[in-house]
Amino acid sequence: MAVEDPCDPRTMTGAIWRDLLDRLRDLESVVTGDGVPASPRDRAEGFRYLLRFLGSGIHVTLPGGDPDYPAFARMVENGMSWGLDNPDCNYSWARVRGDAVYRVGGHRGTARHLEFQVNTGHFGDGNVGRWRTVSSLNARELRCDPDGRFDLVIGGEPRDGNWMALDPEASFLLLRQYFDDWERESPARTWIERVGAVYPQPVLRTDEIATRFDELCTWLSAGARSWEAMNAMILSMPPNQVTMMEPLTGNAGLRGQSYGMGHFACEPGEALVVEFEVPRCLLWSVQLSGWTWESMEFAGRQTSLNGSQAVVDPDGRFRGVIAHEDPGVHNWIDPEGHREGTIGIRYLFPETVNQPTITRVAAGDLERLLPAATRRVAREERRATIERRRRAVQLRYGY
C-alpha cells in the first residue's frame, strides 16, 4: 500500500536546494584558503576537485543511497577522484540497514583481489575514527561455481556458504576490486537486492528526497573537511619520507593491506628515487596524488606503478624515479609538474612490511643511484605503454 507523501516543507519551499548551494559556497576555501597553492593550475585543479567530490557524493546519496531498494553506485574513478583513491581499484557502494537481509550475486570477474565489506557510518560524515567494519568477505573466501558465478547473503541468521553479518549500526556495503594486470583482468558484474522487497519499487516521497539531500550536504561539509584535514596532516610531515603501517583489520580499510603515506617534494632539475625491497604479497603499488589528495591522472600519464607494471631489479628491490622530465627509465613516476604532493605505497597481505626510502638528488646525479641493469625505455615505447594504460582504464570502468 502506498504511503501518503508528507509534503516535507523544506522540499516544498526549495530550502533543501538553497542549503545545498550554501554548502557548495562554503567549500570555496578548500581551494582559495590560507596556505593553499594559488597558481592558475592549482586553482583550476582545486575547483575541478570540488566538482569531482560533488559528483561522487551524488552517486553515493542518490542511486546508492536507498537501503530498501539498493543498487551499486560507482564511488570513485579516474575522473571522480578523492581521498587518495587507488588507481588499481574499482570502488562500488550500496546503502544497507542492520535489520534487513540482502542478496548479492553475479559474476566474480578476474580482478586479482576483491572484497565485500559492511561498515558503519558514512564516508561523508567526517567521523573517520568511529567507522567500523562489521563484516567482510574477500576473493580468497568467496565461493563461486565453475563459471565464476556467486550468490552472497548479507544479514539474517548465519548460514553455510557465502554469508556476511549485519548489526544494528551497519549502514553501507563497499565492494573494492583490485586489478594488477590492467589489460587482462576484468571487473565483476554484480547486483544487490533486499530480501522481501516489493515491486514495482515505490516512488520517492518528498521526505525521502530531503534525507538524500541532507546526506549530500553532510558529504560536502563534514566529509570534504575531514579529507582536507587528513591531507593537510600528510603534507605537514617532513618531505620525502614514507612510513608503512601494519596490515589493517578494520575501520573501513581493506583487510590485510599495509598502507604507507608520505609527502614528496621535488623541484624541476631534481629526481627522487623511491626504493624498497618488494615483499612477498598479493599486490603492491606506488602512486602520487596532488594537493587535494586526489590521485593524479593515472590513465593518460604514468603517475602510478604496480607489480605487473613495474620492473623489479635483480636484487629484489623496486627503484622508482619521480622526476618532472622523463628520465628514460621504465619505473618513471610522473608528478605531472607538481612540486609537492602525497605519495602512497600499498602492500596487500605482505609477509613482511618493508620500509621504503626516498633519496633526493640533482637530475644529473640520478645515474649513480641506479643499478647498471636498470630497465630503459625510449620515447616511442613510453608513448605505447601509456596508450595501453588509457585503453585498459576505459575498459575496466566500462566506458
Over residues 51-62, the pLDDT tens digits come to: 999 999 999 998
User: What average pLDDT does the segment 12-36 reach?
Assistant: 95
Give residues with Cβ within 8 angstroms of 2, minimum separation 6: 202, 203
Query: Cα–Cα distance between 90 and 115 in angstroms, integer?
Result: 11
Q: What is the pLDDT of residues 70-102, one digit of tens each?
A: 999 999 999 899 998 999 999 999 999 999 999
Question: 391: closest CA among 189, 176, 185, 182?
Answer: 182
pLDDT band at 384 (very low <50, low <70, confident <90, very high): very high
C-alpha cell at 289: 596524488
Give residues with Cβ within 8 angstroms of 269, minimum separation 6: 324, 362, 363
Tell whether the model's pLDDT for residue 6 goes beyond 70.
yes
CATH architecture of 237-397: Sandwich (2.60)
pLDDT at 1: 57
Tell whether the model's pLDDT for residue 2 goes beyond 70.
no
Tell whether the model's pLDDT for residue 41 goes beyond 70.
yes
pLDDT at 340: 95
Percent of the chain with pLDDT over 90: 90
pLDDT band at 127 (very low <50, low <70, confident <90, very high): confident
pLDDT band at 334 (very low <50, low <70, confident <90, very high): very high
Query: Cα–Cα distance between 145 and 175 in angstroms, integer?
Result: 20
User: Is 117:183 a contact under the CB 8 Å cutoff?
Assistant: no
User: What average pLDDT does the segment 300-307 reach?
Assistant: 98
Query: Cα–Cα distance between 178 and 180 in angstroms, integer?
Result: 7
Query: What is the residue type of 310?
Result: A
Map out the domains of the chain as residue ranges.
9-232, 237-397
Q: What is the pLDDT of residues 203-235, one digit of tens each?
A: 999 999 999 999 999 999 999 999 999 999 999
b/e code 220-231 from CB counts within 10 Å (16+ = b) = bbebbebbbebb
Mean pLDDT of the chain: 95
Query: What is the residue type of 36?
Result: V
Tell whether the model's pLDDT for residue 251 goes beyond 80.
no
Q: What is the pLDDT of residues 135-172, one digit of tens each?
A: 999 999 999 999 999 999 999 999 999 999 999 999 99
User: What average pLDDT does the segment 353-373 reach?
Assistant: 97
C-alpha cell at 232: 593537510
Q: Which of 1-15, 76-90, 102-116, 121-135 has the highest mean pLDDT?
A: 102-116
Question: 103: closest CA among 171, 193, 197, 190?
Answer: 193
Tell whether the model's pLDDT for residue 3 goes beyond 80.
no
pLDDT at 35: 87
pLDDT at 252: 78
pLDDT band at 130 (very low <50, low <70, confident <90, very high): confident
Query: What is the residue type of 29?
Result: S
pLDDT at 168: 97
Judged by average pLDDT, the poorest of 98-112, 223-237, 292-306 is 223-237
